[in-house]
Amino acid sequence: MNARWAWIVIAWLAVAGLPAMAEPAGSPPGIAWDSLSPEQQQLLAKHAGDWSELPPGRQQAMARGAERWLAMNPEQQARARERWQRWQELPPKQRERIRERWSWFSDLPPAEQERLRDSWRRYQALPPERRQELRERWRQMTPAERERLMRERMQRRPMVAPPAPRRRP
The reply to whether 83 and 148 lie within a common domain is no
Rounded Cα–Cα distance for residues 23 and 27 (Å) = 6
The reply to whether 96 and 53 lie within a common domain is yes
The reported pLDDT for the residue numbered 56 is: 93
As a whole number, mean pLDDT of residues 84-103 equals 94
Has residue 168 got a pLDDT over 70?
Answer: no
Q: What's the mean per-residue pLDDT of the chain?
A: 83
The reply to whether 119 and 102 lie within a common domain is no
**In a domain? residue 4:** yes
Rounded Cα–Cα distance for residues 66 and 102 (Å) = 21
**In a domain? residue 24:** no
**In a domain? residue 78:** yes
The reply to whether 163 and 127 lie within a common domain is yes
The parent domain of residue 102 ranges over 1-19+29-107
Rounded Cα–Cα distance for residues 3 and 81 (Å) = 18
As a whole number, mean pLDDT of residues 16-27 equals 52
**pLDDT tens, 130-164?**
999 999 999 999 999 988 988 887 777 655 555 56
The string of DSSP letters for 83-108 reads: HHHHHHHS-HHHHHHHHHHHHHHHTS
Instruction: Write 2-6 long-range contacts (CB < 8 A, 24+).
Output: 3/120, 4/120, 4/124, 5/83, 5/86, 6/98, 6/101
The reply to whether 33 and 95 lie within a common domain is yes
Helix (H/G/I), strand (E/B), else coil: 20: coil
**pLDDT tens, 97-133?**
999 999 999 999 999 899 889 989 999 999 999 999 9
Indicate the number of domains in the chain.
2
Has residue 89 got a pLDDT over 90?
Answer: yes
The reply to whether 37 and 55 lie within a common domain is yes
